[in-house]
Structure 1
Amino acid sequence: MSSRFRLSLLALGLALCTPLSQAASVSQSLQLSLPDSLKVPYSGVQAPAFAAGLPLGVGSGLTFAGVQADGSWLFYSLTDRGPNADAPDWRQGKDKLSGKIFVAPGFTPQILPIRVKDGQVSVGEPILLHDDKGPIHGLPLPVGTVGSTHEMALTDDLKAIDSPDSRGLDSEGLALAPDGSFWLCDEYGPFILHADAQGKILKKWGPEAQAGEQSVAGGLPGVIAWRQANRGFEGLALLPSGKVIAAVQSTLDIDGKTAKTAPILRLVELDPATGQTRMLAYPLEEGFYKKAKDAKIGDLVAVDEHTLLVVEQGKDKAKKMHNRLYKLSLQGATDLTGVQVDGKAPEFASLAAVTAAGVVPVQKELLLDLRDLGWQPEKAEGLTLIDAQTLAVSNDNDFGLDVTILDPVKDEKDPTEYQTDGTGQLLMDGKPVTSRLLTRPLSAADAASHLWFIKLDKPLY
C-alpha cells in the first residue's frame, strides 16, 4: 500500500513553465513532505529536538521507471548511509580516525518508489538493501579493509559505535535495469553493486585489495581506492549495452598528494558480462575552483551508449555555489588503465601535460546551471532522464540533521577542528575544553526534499 503525502508547488517568481534561461525551463518544482511512518527514529541525547524522528533522506540517487498504466510517472529514489554528521577526530593514544556521528546506527540504506500524477504524489513501501546475512547497515568499514574511510562512528555524546562487519554501504547512484533489478554505487570502497527488485544484493565489485588489506570485493581498478574519504562513487549510469559507468565524486588523493591539484576526475566503466573495466578522464575547468578538490559530481544518467548527462557542483573561487549540468561524449576517450604521464599517474600532471601525453578526456558541453533556474539546495544528487527533453533532479537533505559547537574555542564552530578521546570530552589541540557538541535539526527549508522537472529547449536525441 502506498502512503499519500503533501505536495507543495514552489513559486519561482514567474509561472513555472516560463523559460528561465536559453537552455531550459522548470516545468514543475515539488517539495516533498514524507509521512511520519517513514521518519527515522532517533533516541540520542537531543531526542526532544527530534520528537517525530528524522525526515527520510531520499534523493541521493534517482532513476525513472517509466509511465505506468494509470498515466503516473514512477521513480525510484535512494538514501545514503543514514543520518550522520561531521564530528571531532577520534584519538586514543597514537590512533587517530576521522569522527562521524551516527544518530541512527541501525539504519538500513533503502530504495523508495515515488509516483507522480495529476499534482499528486504517492510513495510505496521502502525496499531495504540486504544480502544473505540480513539487512545492510551504513556504518564505516573497519580500518584495514579495502574501502575503509578511516572513520570512527560516534554517538551524539561522542561514544564509539563498533561497526559489526565490512558490509556497510554509503549508497549513492541508482539505475533501473530492464529486468527490474537495480544497479547502485557506493562512496566507501568505492563499490558497484547489483541488486534484485527486492533489494537483495546479488554481486558487488570494488577496488582490488593491496598487500595487507582485507578484501571486500574486487574487479575494479585499485587506483580508485585513493578516493578522498566520503568522495567515492557518487553517480552511476546504465548504458544500453548493459555496461555500467560510475563517477568518482572528486579528485583522487594519490599518496595524499593530488586532491587539491589533480586536473581530472575518473569515470569507471564496468562490463558485468565480461568483468572488463576501463577508466576515462573527466576534465575540470582550469581556474574555476579555488582547489580541484572543491569539484564534486552529483549524479549522472545515460542518454545513449556514448552520451551522458552529469551534475558537477561546488563553490567557485569567489565562494559562489554552482550546480552545473553537462552533456558528456565518451566517444574517442582514452582508457586510463596503466596510463602514466612523466612516470606518474595523470593526477600529478597538469591538464595540458595530460593531453600532450596523448590522453583524450571525455568531451564536456555545459547545458545549464541549476542555480540560474532558482535551485536553492546545496546538493543536487539525483538525476534521471524522462524523455528526450525532460529531466528530473532531486536533492540530498542530509536527513534534516546538523551539528554545531556550543561555547566554541576562539569562535571555532567546525566540529572537525576538535578532537575527542572516547570519554565524551571535547579537546582542542589535545587539551580538554568546556565546549560542547550539539546535534540539531536543520531549518525546514534546508531539510526539505525537492523533485524538479526540467524541460530542455532542444531534444537530446
Structure 2
Amino acid sequence: MTTLLPVNRYRIAVTAGAVALSLLATGVADASTDPGYRTHRGQPLTVTARQTVVSHTAPAHGTVTRNQDGSLRYTPAADFTGTDSFTYTETDAVRLYTTNLKPLAVIGGVPVTAGGYGSSLAPVPGSCDEYYGLTDRGPNVDGPNGVKVEPLPNFDPAIGKFRLVNGKAVLERTIPLRAKDGTPYSGRVNSQAGTGETIVDLNGNPLLADPDGYDSEGLVALPDGTFWVSDEYGPFITHFDRNGRALQRLSPFDGSLPAELANRVPNKGMEGLTVTPDGRTLVGMMQSALQQPDLTKKPGNVTTLRIVTYDLRTHATHEYLYLLDDPKTNSGAVSEITALSNTTFLVDERDGKPEPGAYKKLFKIDLAGATDVGPRAGGYDGAKGGLLVGPNKATIDAYVGTDDTKTATADLAKVGITPVGKTLGVDLGGLLTGLDPTGGFFGHDKIEGVATTDHGRTIVVSNDSDFGIDSVTNTAPPFQLHAKTTPAGTQDDGEYLAIDTRKLPAQTRTVTVTVQVR
C-alpha cells in the first residue's frame, strides 16, 4: 500500500463547504488541479490529513475508509484506471482516538465489542496522555417481557488504562474489580439493592442476585494509585486499591451516604463521580430525580437531581440540587461530573439519541451559594425521602413535580432553596452535528465520560458503546443478539474525543483529493 503526505498545500485542491464558509475567519487557499496522488491499478493508498478528518465523500471509482490513526485509505475499484477524486473535511478543534480490541465474544455471528470502557473517564495522575476508563456492569440488552439478557454472565466490571496517541486509544492495563475477599464483582443485580429487574442468560436461565453485583458508572483515580468508583445499584461508592480490590464502601443503607439516595430509579443511580483538585472531597451526582414515595410523576420528567459531597478526612456529607434543562422537552439526564476547581465542575447532560441533532451539553456549575439540602438541613428526614418542604412537608422531587426549570427555580426559592449555579460550557451535540451533519463523526448515543487535565481548556469525552449490542432479534431462548450500529453504519465501539475549547466554534476546511490510477 502506498502512503503519501502532500508536500505542500498546492498538491491538493482546497474548497470551502457550507460549514467552512460560516466558521472560517480567513480565506481559503486557491484550488489546484494537480492530481496530487498517484497509484497503480488495484493498489490502495493512504491519504494523511493535516488535521482531524470529520467526514469524507465517496469516490466514483473506489472506496474510502478511515484508518485507526485517522488517515484515509483509498482503494480503487478492480480494473479501474484513470482519474478519481473525493473530498474530506477536517478541523483542528478536536482529535479522535479509537480502540481496536479483540471482541469479548462472537455470538451467533455478532461480535460483543471490547471497547466499552467509556462509562467514566479519569486522568491518570501525573500523565498528560493517559486516562482510566470504566466499564459498566457489562453487556446487557432488553429481552422479551421486560427481562434483561446478559450474554456474558461472568463479566467482571473493570477499569482500563489507556494511552491516547496518534489517533489510537491503546489499552495498557486492565484492572478487574474485586470484593475485599478477592471475589470478582459481577454485573448481576446486587442482593442488597434490588432493581426489580429479571436478568437471564442467552438460554433464558435466571441469573440470581449477587452480593458483589456492581453497576459501575463513576470513576476517580487518586495519586496514591487507588480508585473510588460509584455505581447505580446502591448507589454505592467503593474505594479500591491499585489492583482493584475493595477497601471501603459508602452506602445509603449505613448512613455514610444520605439515605434518600436509595430511592434512585433502577439503573439511574450515582452516574457521575469526581474529586476536587485539592484531593479532599468526593463529589457524586445522581443520573435522574429520585423515585420518592410521595412522587406521583415520572421521575424522568422531574428536574431536581442530587449532588453529594463526601469529605475524605472528616466523612461529612453535603447535598445540593442541580436542575436539569427541562427534561420533559429534552429527555435529559446526567452522565458525568468533572471537577474544574474545588467548587466548580463540568456536568454532562444528555439524551439517549445519536447525532445529528441530539441533546448533549456540558454545563459549568458552581456549588458556591447553593443550599445544602442534605442531612444537616432543618426538616431533613432520610427515611421519608430527605429534606421535606412546603406546607405538605413533601419531598423536594414531589414538591417540584414536572415544573419546567424556570418554574422549579422559582418554587424552590419560595422554600429557601437555591440550586447550584449553571451556565452552558460546550454544546457538544451542536459541535458534532456542525462538524458532520449526517451524524457520522463521533455519532454516539451515550456520551458518558468527561475528563480534563487543564481546568477545562481541553476536554476529553468518551462513549458508552453498550459493547456493540442493543437488543435480541427473537422472543424465545436461545436469544440471538443484534448489533448496535452508529449513524456511520459501523458497529458501536469505544472512542475518545479531545476538544480544544480555545478553538471553538470549530473551523473546518474541505479538501479535494485527486488520484491518478495507472
TM-score (norm. length: structure 2): 0.69
**Pick from 269, 292, 300: which aligns with 2:337?**
300
**Pick from 332, 335, 348: which aligns with 2:372?**
335
Change over 3 Å in CA distance of 1:203–1:66 after alignment to 2: closer
Q: Please tell me the residue identity of whatever aligns with 1:205.
A: L
Query: Is residue 211 of structure 2 the alignment partner of residue 190 of structure 1?
Result: no
Contact 1:66 1:73 in 2 (8 A): no
Measure the CA separation in 2 of the matches of 1:372 and 1:67: 32
Measure the CA separation in 2 of the matches of 1:133 and 1:184: 17
**Pick from 428, 435, 439: which aligns with 2:481?**
439
Measure the CA separation in 1 of the matches of 2:335 and 2:211: 25
- Give the CA deviation at 1:382: 0.7
Indicate the residue corresponding to 2:142 in structure 1.
Answer: 86
Give every structure 1 segment of 4 or more consecutive aligned residues whose post-TM-superposition deviation is greater than 6 Å: none
Indicate the residue corresponding to 1:48 in structure 2.
Answer: 108
Query: Is residue 79 of structure 2 the alignment partner of residue 15 of structure 1?
Result: no
TM-score (norm. length: structure 1): 0.77
Indicate the residue corresponding to 1:397 in structure 2.
Answer: 465
In structure 2, list runs of 5 or more residues that go unmatched. 1-66, 73-86, 375-379, 381-386, 401-407, 433-441, 505-518
- Give the CA deviation at 1:151: 1.4
Measure the CA separation in 2 of the matches of 1:320 and 1:13: 21
Measure the CA separation in 2 of the matches of 1:295 and 1:139: 26
- Give the CA deviation at 1:31: 2.4
Question: Alpha carbon RMSD of aligned pairs, Å?
Answer: 2.6
Q: Please tell me the residue identity of whatever aligns with 2:290.
A: L
Report how many aligned residue pairs link the two structures. Answer: 384
CA offsets per residue over residues 193-217 of structure 1, 9 Å max, x none? 1111111111111112xxxxxxxx6
Indicate the residue corresponding to 2:349 in structure 1.
Answer: 312
Indicate the residue corresponding to 1:251 in structure 2.
Answer: 289
Measure the CA separation in 1 of the matches of 2:234 and 2:389: 26
- Give the CA deviation at 1:276: 1.5
Alignment of 1:220-235 (within 5 A): 220-235=257-272
Q: Please tell me the residue identity of whatever aligns with 1:185.
A: S
Query: Is residue 252 of structure 2 the alignment partner of residue 207 of structure 1?
Result: yes
Alignment of 1:45-444 (within 5 A): 47-50=107-110, 53-66=112-125, 68=127, 73-89=129-145, 99-131=147-179, 132-142=181-191, 145=192, 147-163=193-209, 165-208=210-253, 218-239=255-276, 240-255=278-293, 257-258=296-297, 259-286=299-326, 289-290=328-329, 294-314=331-351, 321-337=358-374, 338=380, 339-342=387-390, 343-350=393-400, 351=408, 352-374=410-432, 375-388=442-455, 389-406=457-474, 438-443=480-485
Q: Please tell me the residue identity of whatever aligns with 2:423.
A: E
Q: Please tell me the residue identity of whatever aligns with 1:135.
A: P
Query: Is residue 497 of structure 2 the alignment partner of residue 452 of structure 1?
Result: yes
CA offsets per residue over residues 417-455 of structure 1, 9 Å max, x none? xxxxxxx58xxxxxxxxxx96422223634121100011
Identity fraction in percent: 29
Contact 1:341 1:354 in 2 (8 A): no
- Give the CA deviation at 1:458: 8.7
Q: Please tell me the residue identity of whatever aligns with 1:16.
A: T
Change over 3 Å in CA distance of 1:119–1:57 after alignment to 2: closer
Q: Please tell me the residue identity of whatever aligns with 1:276.
A: A
Change over 3 Å in CA distance of 1:260–1:371 after alignment to 2: closer
- Give the CA deviation at 1:178: 1.9
CA offsets per residue over residues 41-86 of structure 1, 9 Å max, x none? 36xxxx2323x65434111111111564xxx611111101011011
Measure the CA separation in 2 of the matches of 1:74 and 1:326: 24
CA offsets per residue over residues 79-129 of structure 1, 9 Å max, x none? 01011011234xxxxxxxx52111101010001111123445422131111
Measure the CA separation in 2 of the matches of 1:344 and 1:81: 34
Contact 1:49 1:440 in 2 (8 A): no
Larger RCO, structures 1/2 (Cα 8 Å, 6+ apart): 2
Contact 1:190 1:224 in 2 (8 A): yes
- Give the CA deviation at 1:10: 8.0
Task: Tell me the SS of whatever aligns to 2:121.
Answer: strand
CA offsets per residue over residues 17-53 of structure 1, 9 Å max, x none? 1xxxxxxx32x0122222x2xx3236xxxx2323x65
Indicate the residue corresponding to 1:421 in structure 2.
Answer: none
In structure 1, list runs of 5 or more residues that go unmatched. 1-5, 18-24, 90-97, 209-216, 407-414, 416-423, 426-435
Task: Tell me the SS of whatever aligns to 1:234.
Answer: strand
Change over 3 Å in CA distance of 1:355–1:445 after alignment to 2: farther
Change over 3 Å in CA distance of 1:191–1:261 after alignment to 2: same
Contact 1:327 1:364 in 2 (8 A): yes
Contact 1:60 1:80 in 2 (8 A): yes
Measure the CA separation in 2 of the matches of 1:10 and 1:247: 38
Q: Please tell me the residue identity of whatever aligns with 1:79.
A: T
Measure the CA separation in 2 of the matches of 1:186 and 1:160: 22
Measure the CA separation in 2 of the matches of 1:268 and 1:121: 32
